[in-house]
């Protein structure tokens, strides 16, 4: 069935390096995507979002890239810090009420 998935379950980076987390989606009709950060035992925290009429959006230290041709989404974190260690989920909005379909998640570990 259609789903939003992540390529890598874990990612380990050195503090100060850039991180790239990838996500593939299968519903070409989706027009709104969000990246969330979830720390252990907590609810998801909004990081950045992007609509399908854009291919890039930047925030503070984070950039989301959207490639509609191959249905691929990525989250780039610049100068990764230990506080960035968490599980990152991409989510795809479906339906008129804004239902979110979450990907499997990537655990990011930042080594000091």
Partner 1 sequence: GAVVSQHPSWVICKSGTSVKIECRSLDFQATTMFWYRQFPKQSLMLMATSNEGSKATYEQGVEKDKFLINHASLTLSTLTVTSAHPEDSSFYICSARVAGGPQEQYFGPGTRLTVT
Which residues of the shown chain bind partner 1 in the complex (CB under 8 A)?
Answer: 32, 34, 36, 41-46, 49, 89, 93, 97-105
Closer Cβ to partner 1, 9 or 82, answer by number: 9
Q: Quote the least distance from Cβ 80 to partner 1, whole Å.
A: 22
Q: Does residue 14 contact residue 103 with C-beta atoms inside 8 Å?
A: no
Structure tokens at 45: 């925290």
Q: Quote the least distance from Cβ 43 to partner 1, whole Å.
A: 4
Q: Please list, in sequence order, all residues whose beta carbon lies within 8 angstroms of the beta carbon of residue 36, skipping any fewer than 6 positions away.
A: 44, 45, 46, 47, 88, 89, 90, 91, 102
Q: Which residue has the tokens 């990152």?
A: 88
Closer Cβ to partner 1, 49 or 78, answer by number: 49
Closer Cβ to partner 1, 83 or 98, answer by number: 98
Q: Quote the least distance from Cβ 63 to partner 1, whole Å.
A: 18
How far is CA 4 from its chain centroid? 11
């Amino acid at each position: 069935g259609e789903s939003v998935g992540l390529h890598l379950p874990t990612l380990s980076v050195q503090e100060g390096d850039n991180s790239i987390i990838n996500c593939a989606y299968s519903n070409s009709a989706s027009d709104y995507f969000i990246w969330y950060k979830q720390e252990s035992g907590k609810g998801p925290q909004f990081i950045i979002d992007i609509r399908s009429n854009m291919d890039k959006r930047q925030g503070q230290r984070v950039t989301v890239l959207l490639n509609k041709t191959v249905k691929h989404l990525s989250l780039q974190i610049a100068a990764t810090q230990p506080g960035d260690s968490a599980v990152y989920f991409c989510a795809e909005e479906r339906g008129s009420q804004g239902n979110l379909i979450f990907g499997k998640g990537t655990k990011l570990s930042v080594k000091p």
